[in-house]
Structure 1
């Protein structure tokens, strides 16, 4: 016999579930009406500024017991499912399925978007520039391994904008079909993941050879078809490829994060908590870089990243990539960039986008 109190509590939950379902469908119907209005006016269906506003308001209202992160995830999925009713968005990401880039794309767009793996960072830029994909997701830097310079190089070749950023923690595991360490004869890993687990591997698997592959997901795919192969990959990859844990959290440094860019043909409006990315080339003379950066200091604008890359057009010339807080539409940013331009051969605005919040 079911306890009477338990029965009543379950009945209450059942009634709440029915009400949640009714409200979700009511919300979806209104969203479809909004989509029809946007279509008639030629407006974009996807509005990251609006999405951020919705989630921020909900988080402020949250009193628990669900954590803010759980509420954020739930509403991200609701927004993703709603957008899928309005427009099927194709999102290109650095594949194959199960990479950290794939995980970042899902975290940003929700699981109801249409995800398409690409075989290279270059292919993601091409897909977005040609309009084959609405957005693309590419890695830009890791807190331990530094900048993904190839991604920076692509901004010199393709006409795309940065429309968002995602930062996710990188946790690495040793995975195999059996989960039994004694059956492992070789390990597959992406070079960056291998570097992040070097000390653990030397201590725990000193006699097992490690082979480089194109991604952690490819390592997982190989382990899926050969019981003697172990992969250094994510828990996400283990779920996709049906692998078991040999050892968990084998990364040498636990505060390990990777930042990703969302690229598109345009960038969103102001949210009040934004970041801007630019690239510029300088005249070859003493003090050129100092002069170009000084206006940011004078305006009290925080530079969050600066990186240089060879221009590849003329030897010994460099392109500088800079991230700073603020939006290109901010009056102070407009004034500052006008001063910076005086010292640049060329200055290109790569995008302004909502600053990622953990």
Structure 2
């Protein structure tokens, strides 16, 4: 009886699938035509502002029952596959494979890209600067531990621009080769991950050595080869290196998230919902920071982030990393930037890019 009811429904699904397949290939053919036009003007393959507009539009027009987030995921992969028909984009990230940085790459670009794992954040910047990679994805800050200082320092020095940002949930698991802590003498993870799990580790394994390594992916690789080593890493790393989970969700903050920046030569055009990142410095005198930020209030520009970083050169004590709403081409933002540039001893726009979805 149930088969009699399921058969017509399955036939409907088969028919709809055939229509979806036809539409996907028709879309791909149009995307190829777009690629030919871009090639004539040497336009970039990846346009984050255009993709952000598409993803927002499908979410706004989504009638359900599929959740808008799931629809956006599907469309991101469609755009990624169509983009690859023009040229497969190469994206550098903090490796090895299995890190949260790799997860961020796929969340931003879809899976039809060439991932380039790097041994350090410095190497990610170098790959993008040298043209070995079209883009790099680097961690900027964590909701529990704050700014990733090495990234901030490199953003200050680089000629690259930020062309996108995203935030992903960070769930850490304690994993070993056999799924138990028998014989384990050290727990490996990136220093940030060890800090994010410090309270849990102090309660459960206070006497086991903690070893900071280049990344959580590297920790997982070590644990896969050494039965005396445990790793703190994400689920993807555990699956990639065939590790057993001792305990899942060992991060101290259940809402732990990491924000990533996309870096490269591309400077996105406005998409209607943008953000601009900049770095400023001020003289060491009373009221200097207030006066520095006054042009933002004067021109009605909202500040969404303010981070200070000790200066390691020059005559100022701190650099200030600031995010504001809007694009540098927006009139009010442009006016505020002009005043900031005139008044600040140091001023650098890190990039204008689509606001994170």
Q: TM-score normalized by structure 1?
A: 0.95
Name 2:78's counterpart in structure 1.
78
Residue 232 of structure 1 aligns to a residue whose secondary structure is strand
- Give the 5 Å matches for 1:259-278: 259-278=259-278
Query: Does residue 153 of structure 1 match 2:153?
Result: yes
Rounded to whole Å, the distance in 2 between the matches of 1:5 and 1:285 is 78
Range 279-288 or range 204-213, more displaced: 279-288
What is the CA distance between 1:254 and its match in structure 2? Answer: 0.9
Rounded to whole Å, the distance in 1 between the matches of 2:158 and 2:342 is 25
Name 1:342's counterpart in structure 2.
342
Name 2:115's counterpart in structure 1.
115
Rounded to whole Å, the distance in 2 between the matches of 1:299 and 1:236 is 45
What is the CA distance between 1:284 and its match in structure 2? Answer: 4.4
What is the CA distance between 1:227 and its match in structure 2? Answer: 2.5
Contact 2:119–2:214 (8 Å) recurs in 1: no
Rounded to whole Å, the distance in 2 between the matches of 1:115 and 1:190 is 20
Name 1:175's counterpart in structure 2.
175
What is the CA distance between 1:289 and its match in structure 2? Answer: 2.0
Rounded to whole Å, the distance in 1 between the matches of 2:100 and 2:271 is 27
Rounded to whole Å, the distance in 2 between the matches of 1:144 and 1:126 is 28
Name 2:230's counterpart in structure 1.
230
CA offset digits 1:243-301 (Å, max 9, x no partner): 12111111111121111110011321112211101112334444322211111122232
- Give the 5 Å matches for 1:107-146: 107-146=107-146
Instruction: Output the aligned Cα RMSD.
Output: 1.7
Rounded to whole Å, the distance in 2 between the matches of 1:211 and 1:45 is 41
Rounded to whole Å, the distance in 2 between the matches of 1:284 and 1:2 is 77
Q: TM-score normalized by structure 2?
A: 0.95
Contact 2:173–2:246 (8 Å) recurs in 1: yes
Rounded to whole Å, the distance in 2 between the matches of 1:41 and 1:338 is 31
Structure 2: which 5+ runs fail to align?
none
Contact 1:126–1:158 (8 Å) recurs in 2: no
Structure 1: which 5+ runs fail to align?
none
* Distance of aligned partners of 1:205 and 1:317 in 2 relative to their CA distance in 1, 3 Å threshold: closer
Rounded to whole Å, the distance in 2 between the matches of 1:284 and 1:226 is 52
